[in-house]
A and B are shown apart, each in its own frame.
Chain A
Amino acid sequence: MKWFDYAAPRSLAEALDLLARNPRARPFAGGTDLLVQMRAGQLDPDLLVDLKHIPELNELDCDGSGTLRLGAAVPCCRIYEDERVRRYWPALAEVAEMIGGIPIQSRASLGGNLCNAAPSADSVPVLIALRAVCRIAGPSGERRIAVEEFCTGPGQTVLGPGELLVGFEIPPPEPASGACYLRFTPRAEMDIAVAGAAAAVRLSNGVIAWARVALAAVAPTPLLVREAGDWLADKAPTEENIREAAELARKAAKPITDMRGTAEQRRHLVGVLTRRALQQAIARAREAQP
Chain B
Amino acid sequence: MTREKVRVQAIVNEQPVEFLCEPRQSLLECLRDILGLTGAKEGCNDGNCGACAVIMDGRLVNSCLVLGVEAHGRRITTIEGLARGAELHPIQRAFLEQGAVQCGFCTPGLILATKVLLDRHPDPSEPQIRRWLANHLCRCTGYDKIVRAVRKAAAELREVRA
Contacts and interface: CB of A to CB of B under 8 A. Distances in A.
B66 A4 contact: no
Interface in A1-36: 1-6, 8, 30-32, 35-36
A77 B2 CA distance: 34
Contacts of B4: 5
A31 B47 CA distance: 10
B134 A189 contact: yes
A35 B138 CA distance: 24
A17 to B, nearest CB: 17
A6 B23 contact: yes
B65 A107 contact: yes
Given A100-B135, A103-B53, A32 B24 contact: no
B47 A103 contact: yes
B135 A190 contact: yes
Contacts of B78: none
Contact of B23 (A4, A30, A100, A102): A4
A226 interface: no
Main secondary structure of the interface of A (DSSP, over half): loop
Interface string B53-93: 10010011110111101100000000000000000000000
B135 to A, nearest CB: 3
B1 interface: yes
A241 interface: no
Interface string B1-15: 111101000000000
B102 interface: no
Interface string B112-140: 01001000000000000001101110000
A186 interface: no
B46 interface: yes
Interface string A192-224: 000000000000000000000000000000000
A106 B70 CA distance: 14
Interface in B32-54: 45-48, 50, 53
B112 to A, nearest CB: 9
Contact of B22 (A3, A47, A50, A101): A3
Interface string A30-47: 111001100100000011
B65 A189 contact: no
Contact of A189 (B1, B56, B61, B131): B131
Contact of B65 (A4, A31, A190): A31
Given A5-B23, A32-B47, 9 more contacts: A3-B3, A5-B2, A48-B23, A52-B70, A77-B59, A100-B47, A101-B136, A103-B50, A189-B135
19 contacts: A1-B24, A3-B24, A4-B1, A6-B6, A6-B69, A31-B67, A32-B47, A35-B26, A36-B47, A39-B45, A46-B1, A52-B70, A102-B60, A103-B47, A106-B60, A107-B61, A107-B62, A189-B134, A190-B134
